[in-house]
């Protein structure tokens, strides 16, 4: 389930730079653009890197787009997780599935950290996360709450805080989502102080 990377490098005249950035913005909105015969696809991008360096009357532009397919989402209840195809999940997380198809703790934790960081950064910028991101966060978060000996006494409080965050996002309430995210972060830090 590896990602796909596209990269272009080009030289522009300084007076062409603003028009190129407008075309880039239009391409992002449309989901793709053509640059000097190279098709750039922006759908499901995981990162876009843009560098522009001016030298005299020229501007050298480097643009790379990395896209990754969205993998299966875990659904966990009690001590049972359903994650779609275990092989696909293992490839996505870079870890072998554990007993019963349940993701291995370390791989799940790394993915959850990345997803959580994306959600927090978006909220800080005033952007509510999309449903697919919240589904991934919720599934992974609930999966983390099924590992014994990793902070069991904190699990119920964490689950309730996650539900508050999910509800706030679903209702489009940015301020409430920010407050719920702050609570989730505080509870996470408290748990990690004891179990890390």
Instruction: Give the tens place of pLDDT for each residue, 86-129.
Output: 334 334 444 445 566 677 788 888 888 888 888 888 888 888 88
How wide is the angle at C-alpha 81 spanned by C-alphas 76 and 82, nearest 5°?
105
Structural contact between residues 119 and 181, judged by C-beta atoms closer than 8 angstroms: yes
Winning range, highest mean pLDDT, from 35-39, 59-63, 143-147 = 59-63
Residues 94 and 147 in one domain: yes
Please say if the pLDDT value at position 63 is more than 90: no
Q: Give kind and range of the element (H or E) at residue 62.
A: strand 58-67
Token pair for residue 68? Answer: 């990754």
CATH of the domain at 110: 1.20.120
Residues 157 and 83 in one domain: yes
d(CA 14, CA 31): 26
Last residue of a domain, one of 67, 92, 119: 67
Name the band, by pLDDT with cuts 50, 70 and 90, for residue 166. very high
Last residue of a domain, one of 43, 67, 91: 67
pTM (2 decimals)? 0.53
Residues 138 and 47 in one domain: no
Q: By residue range, what is the domain housing residue 132?
A: 75-195
d(CA 156, CA 150): 13
Number of domains in the chain: 2
**DSSP character at residue 150:** S
Residues 59 and 99 in one domain: no
Residues 83 and 50 in one domain: no
Which of 12-21, 41-50, 73-82, 126-135 has the lowest average pLDDT?
73-82
14-30 average pLDDT score: 90
Q: Closest Cα to residue 139, out of 75, 71, 72?
A: 75
């Amino acid at each position: 389930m590896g990602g796909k990377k596209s990269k272009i490098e080009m030289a522009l005249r300084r007076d062409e730079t603003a028009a190129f950035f407008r075309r880039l913005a239009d391409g992002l909105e449309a989901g793709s653009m053509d640059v000097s015969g190279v098709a750039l696809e922006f759908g499901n991008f995981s990162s876009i890197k843009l560098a522009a360096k001016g030298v005299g009357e020229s501007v050298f532009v480097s643009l790379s787009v990395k896209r990754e397919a969205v993998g299966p989402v875990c659904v966990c209840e009690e001590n049972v997780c359903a994650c779609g195809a275990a092989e696909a999940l293992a490839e996505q997380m870079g870890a072998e599935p554990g007993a019963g198809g349940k993701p291995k703790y370390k791989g799940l934790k790394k993915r959850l950290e990345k997803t959580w960081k994306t959600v927090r950064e978006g909220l800080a910028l005033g952007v509510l996360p999309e449903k697919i991101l919240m589904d991934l966060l919720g599934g992974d978060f609930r999966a983390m709450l099924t590992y014994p000996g990793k902070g069991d006494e904190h699990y119920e409080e964490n689950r309730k805080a996650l539900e508050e965050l999910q509800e706030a996002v679903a209702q489009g309430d940015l301020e409430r989502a920010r407050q719920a995210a702050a609570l989730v972060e505080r509870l996470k830090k408290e748990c990690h102080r004891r179990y890390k």
